Amino acid sequence: MVQTIIASAVIANGLRADFQGTYTDIRNRQADGRVGMLMSNVGMTNRYQAFAYMGAAPHMELWKPGDPVPSDAMDSTSFTGEVHNWARRIPWLKWDRKDDQLGVLYDAAKKTGESTGLLPERFLFDLLNNALTPITLPATMLAPDGAAIFATTAGGVARFGATNGNLLSGSGLATSSAVRTDYYSSIKQFGLFQDGKGQPLLSPETIGRGVLIIHALADTDIFEETFLQRRQGRVLGTDAGVSVSNVIQDASRTIELWGSPRLATGDWYVALKDSPTKPFALLDREGVREFEALEDNNNSDHVRNTGQEYVQWETRQGAVPALPYGIIKINN
């Protein structure tokens, strides 16, 4: 059914456009720049494609004289990715546009096309939340090892060779001490991950290059208190008034906080800034395309037959989890 998308007040004579920018001037339709720290970009050549990677190579072993040469097999893992179609059409009656006294209906509607830039961020938080009913993506996905994105086990054994895998039970958010305890638990957990061949998966240098902590915007105060608050109230020459030192800052740990309204309060995530493989991947098949049917600038049978004009956008993208050894969920 054709919809009239402008209010009757907008066709009143003598209207001024001083407040037209109430929504159109908001710059909120581009993904947060930190999405790229968690998602790689993979160009797709079809709607379904298979991916694979080799497992870790075996390590050297003592070869005693007279014994057979030590040997070990290689293994591999495969998984699939799917691209989905995304679109939005904004229709209006041609008379709406002609009678719009602000003269901005068309330009305001075109803001919809900009929201394509938000898709990677929306995908990312669907994957982080790993909800049974995702908000944007059509289905919940498993990681390449067959387990959930955040799981204690995979294939019946401790994920990445470490008890609790990349899903740690949290201590809550009531105190900065609780948050700090969980942070250090995650750092130590990264160090416990094994490569499947009996050796550490991640080097101390990789872990030490810093982390991105993703938390609910509603929990900003406790995270800033934990990671950013410095010693306060010091009286020179004495220890009077000195608050407890921030051990994380004293240790020169590199931590970046990302508080997002897309997360509910409670759970949070610790992601390595220098993980060899990013935890997620954006599958890009076809960039955004714009189509329009307007009475004034194209020969549209649709407009002639229905009186309806429109502008619409289409793109083809998807997202998948990679092997998520570079991110840990703190489950509160």
Per the structure, how many domains does the chain have? 1
The predicted pLDDT at position 1 comes to: 47
The answer to whether 226 touches 183, Cβ cutoff 8 Å, is: yes
Let me know if residue 20 belongs to a domain: no
The predicted structure's pLDDT at residue 95: 86
Please indicate, yes or no, if residue 235 is contained in any of the structural domains.
Answer: no
CB 183 within 8 A of CB 173: no
Question: How many angstroms separate the CA atoms of 282 and 174, rounded?
Answer: 35
Q: What is the CATH number of the domain that holds 209?
A: 3.90.1690
User: pLDDT below 50 — which residues of the chain?
Assistant: 1-2, 4
Q: What is the DSSP string of 22-54?
A: HHHT----S--GGGGGTEEEEE-SSSEEEEEEE
pLDDT attached to residue 131: 64
Task: Answer yes or no: is 251 within a domain.
Answer: yes
Q: Within a domain: residue 89? A: yes
- pLDDT score for 110: 81
Q: Helix (H, G, I), strand (E, B), or coil: what is residue 210?
A: coil
Residue with tokens 């502008």: 311
**Tell me, what's the pLDDT at 197?**
93
**What φ, ψ does residue 20 adopt, rounded to 5°?**
-60, -30
pLDDT at res. 178: 96
Q: Which of 220, 201, 202, 221 is nearest to 211 (CA)?
A: 202
- CA–CA gap between residue 322 and residue 168 (Å, rounded): 19
> Per the domain annotation, does 69 fall within a domain?
no
User: What residue numbers bound the domain in which 145 lies?
Assistant: 30-57+79-230+243-331
Please tell me the distance from the alpha carbon of residue 184 to that of residue 270, in angstroms, as a whole number.
10
Structural domain includes residue 205: yes
Residue 4: inside a domain, yes or no? no
Is 318 a member of any domain? Answer: yes
